Amino acid sequence: MGSVELGGSGGEEAFSNQLSGEPENPSEKKPDIRVFHERAKATGAYEHLSERKRALMEAYFTTPASYNDLRSLAGGVTQERVKQLIHYGYRELWHHLPPEMRKEYPFNSPKYFEFPHKKYRHRRGSPPRSR
């Protein structure tokens, strides 16, 4: 008595979505990463990050630069490592946001944001194929 079972018809998936920070309604418009970046910057949350992560995140969130373009800024690491640094930096940044902003942006990854300044979709990491 009193125990809760996850499972059955979608119970695990719903619980998993809460933990992963996925938007509750996938049809909702994704928030603009540039707006998030400026708001997070105004709170002072970026001051808790290393200079390296701060510079990478600023460049990635506000310019058309790809992970590959940012390799030199990250010290010549691979583009996969640049991606990791940005994602780890985002998670670290999120924990330093004010509670009301964390509630407004409950995402654990930048992939849940819109990147309108990028030439191609954020998730793919490469330009669209020509037909």
Residue 120 forms part of a structural domain: no
Residue 70 forms part of a structural domain: yes
Residue 7 forms part of a structural domain: no
C-alpha closest to that of 83 among 64, 66, 96: 66
Residue 79 forms part of a structural domain: yes
pTM for the whole structure = 0.70
Residue 108 forms part of a structural domain: yes
Residue 131 forms part of a structural domain: no
Number of separate domains in the chain: 1
The boundaries of the domain holding residue 106 are 29-112
Residues ≥6 apart with Cβ < 8 Å to 67: 60, 79, 80, 82, 83, 86, 125
Residue 20 forms part of a structural domain: no
Residue 75 forms part of a structural domain: yes
**CA gap 4, 61 in Å, rounded:** 40
pLDDT digit string, tens, across residues 2-55: 443 333 444 333 333 333 455 555 557 899 999 999 999 999 999 999 999 999
